[in-house]
Amino acid sequence: MSRVVVTGMGMVTSLGNDVASSWEALCQGKSGVSLIEPYEGYDMEQFRVKFGAQIKNFDPTPYMDRKEARRNDPYEQLAIATSKQALAHSKLQITDENADDIGVYIGSGIGGLVTLHDQFRILYDRGPDRISPFFINMMIVDGAPGRVSIMTGAKGPNWAAVSACATSGNTIGEAWETIRRGDAKAMIAGGAEKAITPIAMAAFDNMHALSRHNEEPQGASRPFDATRDGFVMGEGSAMLILEDLEFAKARGANILAELIGYGSTADAYHETQPAPGGSGLVRAMRRALQKAELRPDQVDYINAHGTSTPYNDKTETVAIKTCFGEHAYRVPISSTKSMTGHTLGAAGAIEAVVSIMAVQTGIIPPTINLHHPDPECDLDYVPNEARQATVNTAMSNVMGFGGHNTCLIFKRYSE
């Protein structure tokens, strides 16, 4: 099996429109949550939840012309932008000679909800003849990897994943497996989500999944805190360039980290609640550790799924204790969703970038808003301030509605 390394990263979040600005804000413990800026057809007075972690001041035109931007849903714009950022970071040139060996795996938990919202308004207000001929391609989840392959020339394996909030953990993990078995030399892998729309906010709120902490939006996402009352909707995208080690070395690539473990499991339990004791996540973490040939006490940092919901945070804590034993009390854990909100299908990729940056810089970003520790969540969640540490190995957990669990393990690269 080939070794697989990371050579490039791209990211857009509510904290910044690239990796550097987002990472700086995360290390400073800044929140990207604010009152939602409504748009046509989105009257915030009708909604109980009036805040989210929206992307701000994002301009797609450095990555595509205006005509192309209009033909892509905002989630696709984000996928294209972060893919191009990652390619530029990696200095990987896609040519006629290597295009067949470079693929694209990109996922989204929901896809083109902004377009869906807009086109339904047009249908009801102006009739069926006014529906855009680009509507289907703008809405479906495989629009993103398709558009990225067209715009970059990557002709290798190409598909979209949908596994709710575990989506981009799966795309990265499956891209790793694709390179390891020799079906590609390099992959663009990650996820994108732009789902702060009226129907999504209403639906998640009606299922009692969202925080209703309107009086203090920046304090609403508070993973592992005893007062947590739900997650905060976020927007974002992140992409990694994964490469076969020998391919990367032959072209003189700068290697950022090595991906060494991946585990994916199902709870087979409930549509929204995690399995008791986090049994599915335990199995995902153990599979990732087994593939990485690591003992639990060799993990230096865990980026938790940490959604700020009552069930998730307690269940994930139990799962980490089960998997890690006594080391669970020694390993630093943080939830960066306290700052980015929950970016649904993009969460796994965003948190993969965070994990790699922790390995590179030795900085563990904090879990902000953790002021009233839950007695049932009694591990080291790096509360409120970033921490310097030696991070040779970082684990990233993601869990999704439907019982999906994914775990990725990144390691400092060495020969």
380-402 pLDDT, tens digit each: 999 999 999 999 999 999 999 99
Provide the pLDDT for residue 167: 98
Backbone angles phi, psi at 290, to 5 degrees: -65, -45
Among 42-46, 130-134, 389-393, the least confident range = 42-46
Q: What pLDDT, on the 0 to 100 scale, is given for residue 42?
A: 76
Question: What mean pLDDT do residues 215-220 have?
Answer: 96
Q: Are 162 and 141 in contact, with CB atoms under 8 Å apart?
A: yes
Percent of the chain past pLDDT 90, that is, above it, reads 95
Question: What residues are labeled active site?
Answer: 165, 305, 342
Predicted confidence at residue 404, as pLDDT, reads 97
Q: Is residue 41 over pLDDT 80?
A: no
Rounded to two decimals, the pTM is 0.97
Instruction: Please give the pLDDT value at position 322.
Output: 98
Cα–Cα nearest to 299, from 278, 279, 325 = 325
Question: What integer is the mean pLDDT of 305-324?
Answer: 97
Give the C-alpha separation, 344 to 233, whole Å. Answer: 8
Residue whose token pair is 């001929």: 133
The per-residue pLDDT for range 91-126, each reduced to its tens digit, is 999 999 999 999 999 999 999 999 999 999 999 999
Average of per-residue pLDDT across 183-190: 98
Amino acid at 312: N
Full strand arrangement of the beta sheet holding 301-303: 158-161, 102-107, 186-193, 236-244, 4-13, 257-266, 404-411, 393-400, 301-303, 333-334
| Spatial separation of the C-alpha atoms in residues 265 and 279, rounded to whole Å | 10
Confidence grade of residue 45 (pLDDT, cut at 50, 70, 90): confident
pLDDT of residue 221: 98
pLDDT of 415 reads 85
Sorted by sequence, the CB contacts under 8 Å of residue 17 that are 6+ apart come out as: 55, 57, 58
pLDDT band at 191 (very low <50, low <70, confident <90, very high): very high
| In the predicted structure, residue 274 carries a pLDDT above the cut 90 | no
At residue 44, does pLDDT exceed 90?
Answer: no
Contact between residue 337 and residue 274 where contact means Cβ atoms under 8 Å apart: no
What mean pLDDT value characterizes the chain?
96
Dihedral sign from CA coordinates of 92, 95, 100, 105 = positive
d(CA 109, CA 162): 5
The CA-based angle 317-320-325, given to 5 degrees, is 120
Amino acid at 335: S
pLDDT > 90? residue 39: no
pLDDT of residue 233: 98
- By three-state DSSP, how is residue 6 classified? strand
Provide mean pLDDT across the span 295-299. 98
Contact 148, 190 (CB under 8 A): no
pLDDT 10s digits, 158-180? 999 999 999 999 999 999 999 99
Q: Which domains does the chain have, with CATH numbers?
A: 4-250 (3.40.47.10), 265-411 (3.40.47.10)
**Beta-carbon contacts of residue 371 (< 8 Å; ≥ 6 apart):** 222, 225, 383, 384
What local confidence, expressed as pLDDT, does residue 158 receive?
A: 98
Question: Quick one: how far is CA 393 from the chain centroid?
Answer: 19
Torsion of CA 132, 12, 243, 334, to 10 degrees: -130
- The pLDDT assigned to 38 comes to 79
